[in-house]
Amino acid sequence: MENAKTFICISNYFKGADFLTHLKSLGNKVYLITSEKLRDKPWPHEAIDEIFYMQGQDIDWNLEHLLLGVGNLMKSNKVDAIVALDDYDVEKATYLRENLRIAGMGQTTGRYFRDKLAMRMRAKSCGIAIPAFCSLFNDHDINTFADSVAAPWVLKPRSEASATGIIKVFDKETLWIHINEMGNNRFKYLLEQFKPGDVYHCDSLILDKKVIFSLTSKYLATPMEISQGGGVFRSSNIPYESDDDKAIKAVNEQVMKGFGLKYGAAHTEFIKCNEDGKIYFLETSSRVGGAHLAEMVAAASNINLWKEWAAIEDALVKEKKYKLPKVKKEYAGIVLTLSKFQHPDLSSFSDPEVFFKVPLDYHAGLIVQSDKNERILELLNNYVDRLVADFSVTVEQEKVDKLH
């Protein structure tokens, strides 16, 4: 293929089919490295030149074996780019780039998009508002924090995704019980003041260190609430040019610039504090948002984040200009729950606004689209009640034993 480039994509979760397919359609050679456990997933094989499987899942991967395998592949292939498709693959990709001297995000910048402690320290140095926080390295620092910062607090794993493993704490005695139970794992956590408020996410595309597209949405039920209490996940994009939209997009641009993301996709979360009305940075990632938020963004804006991210990667290695497709300004929302049925029958959800039905086993979920924000919220509220009555099941959150 004339001007074909070679990409290595890493994903230890089944995701990114649109990315892989579009990258191939642009005339590239596409390799995928994934987990052996995902061998039978419906990967878009027609868009992948070869798949390599690693033993174990995610943190079980042997990075030396990964490096050796990619190094051997490079003996007969000039690799132009390495792309991490999921949160947990960022470290793997930065490790490979650093060792093989391939252009792209390195390990230091990569920590700003994976390590929640590094994120907070970087945000603080950039003058970005964040909840009060403390590392768990030093006992005196922890006691000083607990004595000076009002509870409740949250203990957060530094490198887990979403709300996995978060522990809410209401007093100093309980705090130390949890810290002591962590043993040698305590340094893998941070301590942060819990600020009640509405949680938002801003999904972005970045090119040449500039945010070229972003959409602001609000969690109607936050990942933390769901992971700790069960329930139905909901999110929808907020009115364009509203005060919250403008404020969050402004801070999002600060984060992207300050953290050094040069290009790609990003999913960043913020909280609007109930007490003071301020926007606080919570966390970010150099990837497309999970839980089918990409389809929700596409329904509202006509921008497929996976596809456009692939186009940006392609343009960079081929040194050509990237052009963002025309963006529409409509509204979309998602409602998603665990289902007691492997293949739930959602045919009764027949409103014309239904844009997408989530195809995951043991999940019931829909994305709705409208030119009116009020209609989206009305449908989501209605669908929550119906899903809870007919499909929802609550599964206790597994304790996190193996930390990243």
Q: By the 8 A CB rule, do 305 and 205 touch?
A: yes
280 and 331 inside one domain: yes
> Are 270 and 284 a contacting pair, CB within 8 Å?
no
* CATH for 137: 3.30.1490.20
Number of domains in the chain: 3
What distance in Å separates the CA atoms of residue 230 and residue 397, rounded to the nearest whole number? 9
Specify the pLDDT at position 400: 53
Tens of pLDDT, residues 91-110: 999 999 999 999 999 999 99
Q: Are residues 185 and 153 in the same domain?
A: yes
Confidence band for 392, pLDDT divided at 50, 70 and 90: confident
pLDDT of residue 276: 93
Q: Are residues 336 and 225 in the same domain?
A: yes
Nearest to 217 by CA among 381, 336, 376, 384: 376
CATH number of the domain encompassing residue 79: 3.40.50.20
CA atoms within 13 A on the CB side of 65: 9
Is 396 part of any domain? Answer: no
Residue 283 has pLDDT above 60, yes or no: yes
Asked if pLDDT for residue 162 goes beyond 70, the answer is no
Q: What is the pLDDT of residue 57?
A: 74
CA distance 227 to 234: 13
State the burial class of residue 395 (Cβ atoms within 10 Å of its Cβ: 0-12, 13-18, 19+).
exposed
- Whether residue 303 contacts residue 311, with contact meaning beta carbons closer than 8 Å, is answered with no
- Range of the structural domain that residue 275 is part of: 197-390
Bridge-based pairing state of the strands 279-285 and 331-338: unpaired
**DSSP per residue over 241-297, as a string?**
T-HHHHHHHHHHHHHHHHHT--SEEEEEEEEEETTT--EEEEEEESS--TTTHHHHH
Continuous segment of H or E residues that includes residue 372 = none
Q: Has residue 110 been placed in a domain?
A: no
> Do 183 and 282 sit in the same domain of this protein?
no
Of the ranges 72-76, 138-142, 161-165, 205-209, which one carries the lowest mean pLDDT score? 161-165
In a domain, 317, yes or no: yes
Minimal CA–CA distance to 188: which of 401, 20, 43, 15?
Answer: 401
Is the residue at 58 inside a domain?
yes
Q: Are 96 and 156 found together in one domain?
A: no
**Same domain, residue pair 225 and 314:** yes
Based on the fold, state whether residues 203 and 182 are members of the same structural domain.
no
Q: The tokens of 121 are what? A: 């320290």
pLDDT band at 3 (very low <50, low <70, confident <90, very high): confident
Q: What tens digit of pLDDT does each residue of 353-391 get?
A: 999 998 888 889 999 999 999 999 999 999 999 998 888
* Gap between the Cα atoms of 232 and 334, Å rounded: 10
Side chain identity, residue 146: A
* Domain annotation covers residue 125: no
Report which residue type is found at 261.
L
pLDDT more than 90, % of the chain: 83
Q: Does 163 lie in the same domain as 243? A: no
Specify whether 220 is located in the same domain as 263. Answer: yes
Nearest to 134 by CA among 112, 116, 160: 116
- 401: Cα separation from own chain's centroid: 21
The residue-averaged pLDDT of 161-181 equals 89
Q: Are 158 and 127 in contact (CB under 8 A)?
A: no
On whether residue 111 sits in a domain, the answer given is no
Residue 401 within a domain: no
Q: Kindly give the residue spans of alpha helices, DSSP state H, lying in 278-372.
A: 293-301, 305-318
Are the beta carbons of 146 and 391 closer than 8 angstroms? Answer: no
Contacts of residue 253, defined as CB under 8 A and 6 or more positions apart, other chains included, come to: 211
Which CATH number covers residue 319? 3.30.470.20
**What proportion of the chain, given as a percentage, has pLDDT over 70?**
93
How far apart, in whole angstroms, are the C-alpha atoms of residue 152 and residue 150? 7
pTM of the model as a whole? 0.92
On whether both 158 and 207 belong to a single domain, the answer is no
